Amino acid sequence: MNSIFTEENLQAFTCAARYGSFSRAAEELGVTTSAISYTIKRMETWLDAPLFIRNTRSIELTESGTFLYRKASDLLNDFQGIRRGIETISQGIEAKVRICINHLLYTPQHTARMLNILKKQFPGCQIAVTTEVYNGVWDAVLNNQVNIAIGAPDALLGGGGIDYTEIGVIRWAFAIAPDHPLAAAQEPIPESQLRLYPNIMVEDTASTINKKVGWLLHGQETVVVPDFPTKCQCQILGDGIGFLPDYMARREVENGLLVTRQVHNPRQHSRMLLATQHAATGQVTRWIKQQFRPGGVLAELYQDLMHQA
């Protein structure tokens, strides 16, 4: 037996339910009123349940009709999604792209703007974004959890099957609260003094490769936090010390909440790479790689967070 739940039948039913009228549904779909009425009657016969209460001037959904309307609407959305997905794939555009952003480059504003740009350029592509810390980014790439990594740290040894290119560097600033004891210390501050205070540290999220430690002195107490905004707030409150990305420290220095100081053996710049699976050759991936080149729209988007090498 052929299923009654064809796309055409479901469109007729949902359109009639939405307008509360067979004639208006017929006008919308470009068919006769009798065709709509016949389709609905066939559906009711097949389901052995009335879908509408028919009045003189209007129709109303029954309880069964209301249930079917919800399910039919979902099915029609699925039909449209499948069609768009196949059209997208046939054009060489990935159906879905998973992007991991290094937490050093993650802000809600930058991420929302990037998604806005990508969806305008590739409306048929589903995009999923995650964040990781330090080598957690490489972990996600190597375990095929993502297709693209924005801000993979440094170069990965033994990373076969991965393409990467440098997109900038993060510069670090040693930042502390204005009333912290080290704020009055002679510069550059020696490690013997730095070691006396807790280091506010964001832990690497890698689980299958070695974790990276950003900056930590031997014997120094640590306070582990989940992200850099939390680390920044802890340092503002004087809970500890450490290096912050210079763009983050600069904002709080301007607000009078932090001061920066020179220290012995400062933290070196961190290279940020754009990494992709070697097998990822779809249009979205290629476009992202192109737009992170100097002058590209994504390079310009992130230029306030990174410096050129």
Report the Cα 108 to chain-centroid distance in Å: 9
Percentage of the chain modeled with pLDDT above 70: 95
The pLDDT of residue 157 is 57
d(CA 138, CA 60): 56
Q: Give the predicted TM-score (pTM) of the model.
A: 0.72
Which spans in 32-163 are helix H?
33-47, 63-90, 108-121, 136-142
pLDDT at 196: 96
What percent helix, strand, coil does the chain show, rounded to 5?
40, 20, 40
Nearest CA-CA partner of 228 in 199, 195, 257, 202: 202
Domains along the chain? 7-90 (1.10.10.10), 96-169+270-301 (3.40.190.10), 172-260 (3.40.190.290)
List of the chain residues with pLDDT < 50: 1
What pLDDT does residue 249 have? 97
Q: What is the pLDDT of residue 1?
A: 43
- Helix H or strand E encompassing 227: none
Residue 34 pLDDT: 93
